[in-house]
Amino acid sequence: MPRTPDLVGTHVGRPESPEAELLVQEAIGRALSLLLTKKGLYQKVELDLEYLHNHLNAQKLNSFEALTAEFSKRPWVPVSLDVAKENRQRAEFFCGVGDSPLGTPSDGLKLAFGLPPLKLYCDHCKDEHSFSSVTAMWWDGLTDAYPKIGLKTQQLFCLTYQCVNCKQCHTTALINREGLRLTLAGRSKRLPIDAPKVIPKELQPIIRDAKSAASENDIPAAFYHARTFLEHYMKICLKLPLSLRITGDDLGARYNASLDNRMTSGMPSLPALYASSSENMHSRTGSEDDFAKLLEAIEGHLNAKELFLRYRTET
């Protein structure tokens, strides 16, 4: 994550600085990277200040809470690191960014931070590539009302990234900041969602819908799509029409009976996964972690099945 001492600007004369500022720069970079590469719309990420906490403890400085409150209030200034200096200055001019006036209290000092490079899917290169920030916009006091400086300062950042490989593909995100929390308020392109290769091609859209719902924190919908996938998959394996009305128990029993019997013990069981997905869907239970484990178990079952099939044809 970018750690850019030249962006810290005015140093606060205290033993915690500038290391505290540098650690918060890194924490903002990590939070943004997580938000922009893994999360769907309206998801939130809270800054993880564990490194700052550990650093202060090691220095026997008892100021973690005071500093946490200070960084929650200080205005943050996103900076594109890979653009020419004149471009950066022009962006700063339009955003109204300048050095904090002399005598500004420490909780009013702007904290500039470098925007991290991101691994994103490029529509032009048709592959995942590194993207770097080419424009970062925010608005500094254009009106009295916004940005709102307070215990949990509110700001809006508009960030544009460009594919480093082709320089043809751009993606823009809108990030709402409130204190130490960042929310993905908009993005010009949907987060690309992939499905494991072992999932049959015709069923991959269902798994992508499930993962997409999970990325937007709609976990009951994620379980719903996953259950649909399991139903379709078992019916296709059994050559049953998708429209056939059959109970989950009956379908699961028929599916298990069709398997190599070594697969029905010790392997993730699709009928059991179907039952737990139904339970989670109906009772609106199950966490994002439970959903990730469900996907892992589905993938594990399909991988094992592929291996068993290969072994059988080779002997």
155 forms bridges with which residues in the sheet?
Answer: 177
**Of the candidates 57, 25, 34, 5, the residue with the CA atom closest to the CA atom of residue 182:** 34
For Zn ion, give the closer residue by CB, 166 or 257: 166
For Zn ion, give the closer residue by CB, 163 or 234: 163
122 lies in the site for Zn ion, by CB under 5 A: yes
For Zn ion, give the closer residue by CB, 111 or 169: 169
Instruction: State the nearest-atom distance from the C-beta of 165 to Zn ion, in Å.
Output: 4
Question: Interacting stretch for Zn ion, rule CB under 5 A, among 122-130, 148-156, 192-200, 218-226?
Answer: 122-130
Q: What single string gives the DSSP state of each residue in the chain? A: ----GGGS-SPPSSTTTTHHHHHHHHHHHHHHHHHHHH--TT-EEE---HHHHHHHHHTT---HHHHHHHHHHSPEEEE-SSS-HHHHHHHHHHHT--PPPTT--GGGS-EEEEPPPEEEEETTTTEEEEEEEEEEE---SSSSSSSB-STT-EEEEEEEEEETTTS--EEEEEEEEETTEEEEEEESSPPP----TTS-GGGHHHHHHHHHHHHTT-HHHHHHHHHHHHHHHHHHHTT--TT----HHHHHHHHHHTS-GGGGSSS--HHHHHHHHHHHHHHT---HHHHHHHHHHHHHHHHHHHHHHHHHHH-
Instruction: State the nearest-atom distance from the C-beta of 173 to Zn ion, in Å.
Output: 17
For Zn ion, give the closer residue by CB, 120 or 180: 120
Instruction: State the nearest-atom distance from the C-beta of 189 to Zn ion, in Å.
Output: 13
**Of the candidates 128, 158, 144, 148, the residue with the CA atom closest to the CA atom of residue 32:** 158
C-alpha span between 227 and 210 (Å, rounded): 9
For Zn ion, give the closer residue by CB, 171 or 212: 171
Report yes or no: 116 and 32 within 8 Å, Cβ to Cβ.
yes
For Zn ion, give the closer residue by CB, 171 or 269: 171
Binding mask 148-167 for Zn ion (x = CB under 5 A): ---------------x-xx-
Question: Interacting stretch for Zn ion, rule CB under 5 A, among 36-44, 168-176, 186-194, 230-238?
Answer: 168-176
257 lies in the site for Zn ion, by CB under 5 A: no
Instruction: State the nearest-atom distance from the C-beta of 192 to Zn ion, in Å.
Output: 13
Q: 169, 226, 298, 304: which one contacts Zn ion (CB under 5 A)?
A: 169
204 lies in the site for Zn ion, by CB under 5 A: no
C-alpha span between 237 and 270 (Å, rounded): 12
By CB under 5 A, the count of residues binding Zn ion is 7
Instruction: State the nearest-atom distance from the C-beta of 167 to Zn ion, in Å.
Output: 7
Question: Interacting stretch for Zn ion, rule CB under 5 A, among 2-10, 118-126, 222-230, 299-307?
Answer: 118-126
Instruction: State the nearest-atom distance from the C-beta of 131 to Zn ion, in Å.
Output: 8
For Zn ion, give the closer residue by CB, 159 or 169: 169
125 lies in the site for Zn ion, by CB under 5 A: yes
For Zn ion, give the closer residue by CB, 118 or 273: 118
Near Zn ion in 3-22, by CB under 5 A: none
124 lies in the site for Zn ion, by CB under 5 A: yes
132 lies in the site for Zn ion, by CB under 5 A: no
Instruction: State the nearest-atom distance from the C-beta of 124 to Zn ion, in Å.
Output: 4
Q: What is the CA radius of gyration of the chain?
A: 25
Interaction site with Zn ion (CB under 5 A):
122, 124-125, 163, 165-166, 169
